[in-house]
Chains A and B, each alone.
Chain A
């Protein structure tokens, strides 16, 4: 069995599971945020209105809550949603509730690894499509809607169709200025944005093994953009070192069998990969950055669970240091702890000296919520994950997706720029 099959087997109390089999998995961790949470609460309230009882969560210690999409509260409706979530969490004794202005908070998918909330071998579900991100730590992590999260809160389990696994082997020597974002955009373009629908994407190969945890998280995060049910990387010493500095909890990692069956195996030689950009209006619509150097931009956005981890901030700062941006540039660290680390490393000063605005952790403009959404016809290059019509603002705005290095280089030139060409 693959790692994914073995996690689902363990979670469902079976010795063996096979792809396409429907199983009920016991959930180790469940997350909701200020968008999915109020939706879940509404489902539970309607359940009660119909004469049913919901007076306790199956296990309050397995639930955690983040405030991330419309925070700091962007308007009165958002404030009400955040307040509703707080009242609900208090009533149901949810202790792991990350609130802005009260110490650590940030984007749910970032807190998940940054705080060591989800552990290798676990079955984790979240009320957000990018829950796949957390699979980089060796967990089965998948996104669900309001109803399914409500069901988990009641019963602690949920049905899954065991997914087939696609194995992506990334080999070779990583060229300078190439990041995980370039690699995953290529993979999505190859298999298409429906290419992994209902399937798990597993990443391996020497390139992945040599990556730090935060780069690995970019691969699993963007597996969502190929339609994947989950993205996963087998845990190794990088995983354990990362997790063990963040939690003292015990965990039981799971590894796939040597004779595991994969639906397809894809080999990628990374040696000749070039800095890559996904054009509007699909993450699969790629070109090299050089092919797009005539595209002028209005804005550069460094944010989101995909592109505002500490490593992403370090990479962008490396290019921005001592220089000035030519277009409006926004930096939103993905969590309070990352903001603080960036501050101590001097990265925030680099961004501010360069002229960028540094904002509080939030999903913000990545999903068109607030904090710098785009006007009609505006063009943005962004470290985020989606560029569908209207994703970051007006339906006639345009978002180009790229790595933090390409976004920083483009901010300096005011047009899409390959970081290798910065000296020209």
Chain B
């Protein structure tokens, strides 16, 4: 998986919903760069100025609950967020993130939320399903294994570019 080490932006609360990630009034906008400038506006209006491409989001459970707006993963991925680490994801957000090829939703243990600090540099080892915290002497935490299908869809750039037949979807 083509994800390198990056810095963590941490918002330690559950149920960060799509109205927070990209508020309703911006739903009429479809320019990714403009959407990106409003990412996470409901929680941190300055967020877009702090992200370097390759960074990660670390958040509480049920991330992305609410609306089906694909604007949410578009805004985050356009800023350069490559993966979101959270104990759980709302289903449509998860599906949009993967099928649109925008970013990887990575499920973590709830305890990991406390162990990684805002600003930590981390690396993700997809072969061993571990997050390595480079700012804490290589302390590491497990991630829930992602199915090959999920990784391949994101690597392909989304569902439309993934596979023409259904064999690729065998579970």
**Contact present for B159 and A151 (CB under 8 Å):** yes
Is B166 an interface residue, CB under 8 A from the partner? yes
Q: CA separation between A154 and B162, bound complex, in Å? A: 14
B161 nearest CB across to chain A (Å): 8
Is A9 an interface residue, CB under 8 A from the partner? no
**Contact present for B171 and A386 (CB under 8 Å):** no
Q: Which of A249-257, A303-311, A388-396 contacts B (4 or more CB under 8 A)?
A: A388-396
**Contact present for A146 and B70 (CB under 8 Å):** yes
Most central of A42, A150, A161, A391 by chain B CB within 10 Å? A391
**Contact present for B68 and A147 (CB under 8 Å):** no
Q: Which residues of B contact A21 (CB under 8 A)?
A: 171
Which residue in B88, B100, B169 is a CB contact (below 8 Å) of A147? B100
Q: CA separation between A141 and B92, bound complex, in Å? A: 13
Q: Which of A31-39, A206-214, A271-279, A404-412 contacts B (4 or more CB under 8 A)?
A: A31-39
Interface string of B10-33 (1 = CB under 8 A from A): 000001010110011101111000
Most central of B68, B70, B95 by chain A CB within 10 Å? B68
Which residue in B17, B69, B166 is a CB contact (below 8 Å) of A35? B69
Q: CA separation between A326 and B15, bound complex, in Å? A: 34
Interface residues of A in 128-182 (CB under 8 A from B): 128-129, 131, 143-148, 150-151, 154, 159, 161
Q: Which residues of B contact A295 (CB under 8 A)?
A: none
Is B66 an interface residue, CB under 8 A from the partner? yes
Q: CA separation between A127 and B68, bound complex, in Å? A: 7
**Contact present for B96 and A194 (CB under 8 Å):** no
**Contact present for B65 and A146 (CB under 8 Å):** no
Q: A198-B91, A229-B91 are in contact. Are A38 and B30 (CB under 8 A)?
A: yes
Which residue in A77, A144, A154 is a CB contact (below 8 Å) of B92? A144
B115 nearest CB across to chain A (Å): 22
**Contact present for B90 and A395 (CB under 8 Å):** no
Which residue in B20, B95, B171 is a CB contact (below 8 Å) of A144? B95
Closest to A50 in B: B161
**Contact present for B19 and A388 (CB under 8 Å):** yes
Closest to A161 in B: B171
Q: Which residues of B contact A369 (CB under 8 A)?
A: 24-25, 27-28
Is A63 an interface residue, CB under 8 A from the partner? no
Is A20 an interface residue, CB under 8 A from the partner? yes
Is B42 an interface residue, CB under 8 A from the partner? yes
Is A261 an interface residue, CB under 8 A from the partner? no
Is A92 an interface residue, CB under 8 A from the partner? no
Is A227 an interface residue, CB under 8 A from the partner? yes
**Contact present for B68 and A197 (CB under 8 Å):** no
Is B105 an interface residue, CB under 8 A from the partner? no
A22 nearest CB across to chain B (Å): 4
Q: Which residues of A contact B19 (CB under 8 A)?
A: 367-368, 386, 388-391
Q: Which residues of B contact A197 (CB under 8 A)?
A: 62, 88, 90-91
Q: A145-B92, A151-B99 are in contact. Are A388 and B20 (CB under 8 A)?
A: yes
Q: CA separation between A154 and B161, bound complex, in Å? A: 12
Q: Which residues of B contact A78 (CB under 8 A)?
A: 28
Q: CA separation between A377 and B27, bound complex, in Å? A: 23
Is B67 an interface residue, CB under 8 A from the partner? yes
**Contact present for B29 and A77 (CB under 8 Å):** yes
Q: Which residues of B contact A70 (CB under 8 A)?
A: 27-28
Q: CA separation between A149 and B83, bound complex, in Å? A: 23
Q: Which residues of B contact A198 (CB under 8 A)?
A: 91
Q: CA separation between A24 and B71, bound complex, in Å? A: 25
Q: Which residues of B contact A34 (CB under 8 A)?
A: 28
Q: A77-B29, A147-B160, A368-B19 are in contact. Are A36 and B68 (CB under 8 A)?
A: yes
A385 nearest CB across to chain B (Å): 10
Q: A24-B166, A386-B19 are in contact. Are A145 and B69 (CB under 8 A)?
A: yes
**Contact present for B90 and A194 (CB under 8 Å):** yes
B residues neighboring A (CB under 8 Å): 15, 17, 19-20, 23-25, 27-30, 42-43, 61-62, 65-71, 88, 90-92, 95-96, 99-101, 158-160, 166, 169-171
12 more contacts with CB within 8 A, not counting A227-B65, A390-B42, are: A39-B71, A81-B28, A143-B68, A145-B70, A145-B95, A159-B166, A194-B61, A197-B88, A367-B67, A368-B25, A389-B43, A390-B24
A residues neighboring B (CB under 8 Å): 20-22, 24, 34-36, 38-39, 42-43, 47, 69-70, 74-75, 77-78, 81, 127-129, 131, 143-148, 150-151, 154, 159, 161, 193-194, 197-198, 227, 229, 282, 367-369, 373, 386, 388-391, 395
- A sample of 15 cross-chain residue pairs with beta-carbon separation below 8 angstroms, ordered by A number, consists of A21-B171, A22-B170, A36-B68, A39-B71, A47-B160, A77-B28, A127-B68, A147-B101, A148-B96, A151-B159, A194-B65, A367-B19, A368-B19, A368-B25, A390-B24
